[in-house]
Amino acid sequence: MKILVCISNVPDTTSKINFTEGDTKFDTNGVQFVINPNDEFGLTRAMWFKEKQGAAVHVVTVGGAQTEPTIRKALAIGADEAIRVNAEPTDGFFVAKQLAEVVKNGGYDLVIAGRESIDYNGGMVPGMLATLLDMNFVNTCIGLEIDGNNATAMREIDGGKEKISTTLPLVIGGQKGLVQESDLRIPNMRGIMMARQKALNVVEPVDAPQPTQDQKFEKPAPKGAVKLVDADNVGELVNLLHNEAKVI
Amino acid sequence: MSVLVYTESLKGKFKKNAFEVASYAHKVAQDLGTSVTAVTFNANDDASLGNYGVSKVLKIANDKLETFNAKAYADALAQAAQAEGAKVIILSSSADSKFLAPILTTKLNAGYVPNVVAAPDSTSPFVVKRTAFSNKGFAHTEISADIKVIGLSSNAFGVVENGGSATVDNFSPSLSEGDFAVKSVEVDRVVGKATIADADIVVSGGRGLKGPENWGMIEELAEVLGAATACSKPVSDLGWRPHGEHVGQTGKPVASNLYIAIGISGAIQHLAGVSASKTKVVINNDPEAPFFKAADYGIVGDAFEVVPKLIEKLKEFKAQNA
């Protein structure tokens, strides 16, 4: 089995978000970039398939040279090879088209992406990729087993979960649950050393339209001060929620 | 040329978000000088959508579509969009809508923007405001493709009743075997309890509650309020509560009218995930907890004393206002 894990290079979850150039760009100044958490759960599940079922695992990102430390980390965790499509990922459909080209050329059976990136939150790349290639697709995937050509997946739905049966080739939009938080791996020194020897192939993008454009960003309006209610006067909270906030 | 809207239902009954997306579609249709066509799947009371601004319903009644199937539903919606010549398609932010949206968008060569929080800034060019950076920011995004697909954030636009009426036409999309290559084997859904996705009120517990055995009062508070229960990331990582309850940046987003955080300090990732809620209440014994900076109302105190009192007061309130 040949697996491709799609990695998005995103600001660390603790990052303060600011915008620059007249609020038209995300301000990367002082921001630490990491593997998108939803992708990291998928990468870790791919490592399981590699170790238990002998799968080959490649990772891909669409991004400039500044994303290479993130993709090297994926190699240090255990991926065999990496591909970087040398383009700025400014639109979900554009990214899906780039990934479709990589999947076609690489002949992958299983593509694991995250359900969404935690920066632009588009959540569209996995489904678009699957549709472009006519591969099966399961989103918000919280469990995945592969047996030969058959796949059994768990999908998180609103208020529960759904067991799904399908076949390879398959694209999944994964999230926590594919593996647990405690299963995530921190690269060790040997992994980091080995990652330096592994191939990181840079490919140029294919032409693709960008049907959406972010024109301007803004930050949420600053929050007013909290209204404190005395712990001995809980009835006052009920009163405020009913008469002032009008939510009960 | 109408605005097309996918109105979700469960076992024949429309979900709350169906009325919200219909209301939003009505606003967009007004801006564009056109009308709203809704697509329903095995729904019971199709004409009721008229009250939310829908003029015409394309009713799909098909046993094979009894359980949601993203590819088949997307195929049906694409055919409905083509039949109507729709240039704008409105979806919700449910797990199902987010599953089918990219499939539908790709089939129609459209442009898709999810997490939209307001009526379009303008319709020519077509620009919408959406959340980005996990609610730590907003983006104004232009959709330049001919067909626009919009995913509306939950509880962002609200439900607007206008007393209108809708005609109902049967619609039979032609579906292929390939549409059902991803099969639902079993659905395990909590019944009779509000879900985080569409609850008006969410009650959430954190590590301050000390252990899973102490969730009784959270459940009781939720029951009194008709609320969904949720939890912070550490609580789900520790296995005190199921992962489906984890809310925050890497868990489920919350956009309820009222969010009550109990024993949750308010890490930046948690606050990002719940910030779309309209009113936030924090109960925590640490006055320095960051959540107090993000909340509208707060009580500094021991949750084990405050929550039972709150339950009691809410019961009194309910009795008086019943």
3-state secondary structure B239-252: CCCCHHHEECCCCE
Q: What distance in Å separates the CA atoms of residue A128 and residue A106, rounded to the nearest whole number? A: 18
Q: Which residue of B has its CA nearest to A139?
A: B99
Q: Measured between CA atoms, how close is A199 to chain B, in angstroms?
A: 30
Q: What is the pLDDT of residues A29-45, one digit of tens each?
A: 999 999 999 999 999 99
In percent, the amount of chain B with pLDDT more than 70 equals 100
Cα angle for residues A1, A176, B267 (degrees, 5° grid): 150
CB atoms within 10 A of CB B47: 13
CB-based contact A237 B297, cutoff 8 Å: yes
Q: Measured between CA atoms, how close is B303 to chain A, in angstroms?
A: 9
- Residue B219 covered by a domain: yes
Q: What distance in Å separates the CA atoms of residue B156 and residue B146, rounded to the nearest whole number? A: 25
CB-based contact A235 B313, cutoff 8 Å: yes
Q: What is the pLDDT of residues B171-214, one digit of tens each?
A: 999 999 999 999 999 999 988 788 998 899 999 999 999 999 99
User: How many Cβ pairs closer than 8 A exist between chain A and B?
Assistant: 263
Nearest to B182 among A136, A214, A245 (CB): A136
What is the structure's pLDDT at B198? 85
B310 at interface of A, judged by CB pairs closer than 8 A:
yes
* Tokens describing residue B296: 């509208």
Output the pTM of the full model: 0.96
> Which residues does B179 contact at the CB level (< 8 Å), separation at least 6?
B69, B71, B72, B75
Domain that holds residue B236: 201-321
Give the Å distances, CA to CA, from A42 to A143, A212, B91. Answer: 10, 27, 27
Q: Is there a contact between A235 and A115 (Cβ–Cβ < 8 Å)?
A: no
- Residue B234 covered by a domain: yes
Task: State how many domains chain B has.
Answer: 2
Cα angle for residues B174, B179, B180 (degrees, 5° grid): 120
What is the CATH number assigned to the segment(s) A2-220?
3.40.50.620
In the structure, what pLDDT confidence band is assigned to residue A25 with cuts at 50, 70 and 90?
Answer: very high
Q: What is the pLDDT of residues B273-312, one digit of tens each?
A: 999 999 999 999 999 999 999 999 999 999 999 999 999 9
Q: What is the mean pLDDT of chain A?
A: 97
CB atoms within 10 A of CB B287: 10
- Residue B193 covered by a domain: no
Q: Are residues B95 and B135 in the same domain?
A: yes
Q: What is the pLDDT of residues A44-79, one digit of tens each?
A: 999 999 999 999 999 999 999 999 999 999 999 999
Q: Are residues B137 and B7 in the same domain?
A: yes
Nearest to A159 among B141, B190, B237 (CB): B190
DSSP track, B28-87: HHHHHT--EEEEEES-S-GGGGGGGT--EEEEE--GGGSS--HHHHHHHHHHHHHHHT-S
Q: Beta strands B3-6 and B126-132: pairing type?
A: unpaired
Q: What distance in Å separates the CA atoms of residue A137 and residue B61, rounded to the nearest whole number? A: 24
What is the structure's pLDDT at A51? 97
Q: Are residues B257 and B147 in the same domain?
A: no
Q: What distance in Å separates the CA atoms of residue B218 and residue B108, rounded to the nearest whole number? A: 45
Q: Which residue of A has its CA nearest to B309?
A: A234
B63 backbone dihedrals φ, ψ, rounded to 5°: -60, -35
Burial of B64 (0-12, 13-18, 19+ CB in 10 A): exposed
Nearest to A166 among B95, B183, B293 (CB): B183
Q: What is the pLDDT of residues B232-248, one digit of tens each?
A: 999 999 999 999 999 99
A145 at interface of B, judged by CB pairs closer than 8 A:
no
CATH of the domain at B223: 3.40.50.1220
CB-based contact A218 B138, cutoff 8 Å: yes
B140 at interface of A, judged by CB pairs closer than 8 A:
yes
Q: Which residue of B has its CA nearest to A136?
A: B182
Domain boundaries in chain A? 2-220
3-state DSSP call for residue A6?
strand
Residue B201: list chain A partners with CB under 8 A.
247-248
Query: Which amino acid makes up residue A180?
Result: Q
Q: Are residues B9 and B131 in the same domain?
A: yes
Q: Measured between CA atoms, how close is A168 to chain B, in angstroms?
A: 10
- Residue B136 covered by a domain: yes
Q: Measured between CA atoms, how close is B118 to chain A, in angstroms?
A: 14
Q: Are residues B159 and B274 in the same domain?
A: no
What is the structure's pLDDT at A34? 98
Q: What distance in Å separates the CA atoms of residue A221 and residue A210, rounded to the nearest whole number? A: 30
CB-based contact A209 B310, cutoff 8 Å: no
User: For the packed helices A68-77 and A37-53, what is the interaxial angle rounded to 10 degrees?
Assistant: 30
- Residue B195 covered by a domain: no
Q: What is the pLDDT of residues A98-149, one digit of tens each?
A: 999 999 999 999 999 999 999 999 999 999 999 999 999 999 999 999 999 9
CB atoms within 10 A of CB B191: 8
> Which residues does A160 contact at the CB level (< 8 Å), separation at least 6?
B187, B188, B189, B190, B244
**In the block, residue with structure tokens 């055995």:** B213
User: Per DSSP, what are the bridge partners of residue A85?
Assistant: A62, A203
Q: What is the pLDDT of residues B154-181, one digit of tens each?
A: 999 999 999 999 999 999 999 999 999 9
Q: Does position A238 have pLDDT exceeding 80, yes or no? A: yes
Q: Does position A223 have pLDDT exceeding 90, yes or no? A: no
CATH of the domain at B92: 3.40.50.620
Q: What distance in Å separates the CA atoms of residue B120 and residue B27, rounded to the nearest whole number? A: 9
Q: Are residues B165 and B212 in the same domain?
A: no
Q: What is the pLDDT of residues B63-105, one digit of tens each?
A: 999 999 999 999 999 999 999 999 999 999 999 999 999 999 9
Q: Name residues 17-76 of chain B within 8 A of A (Cβ).
A: 68, 70-71
Helices (H) and strands (E) in chain A, counts: 6, 15
- Residue B37 covered by a domain: yes
Q: Are residues B30 and B149 in the same domain?
A: yes
Q: Are residues B146 and B208 in the same domain?
A: no
CB-based contact B138 A140, cutoff 8 Å: no
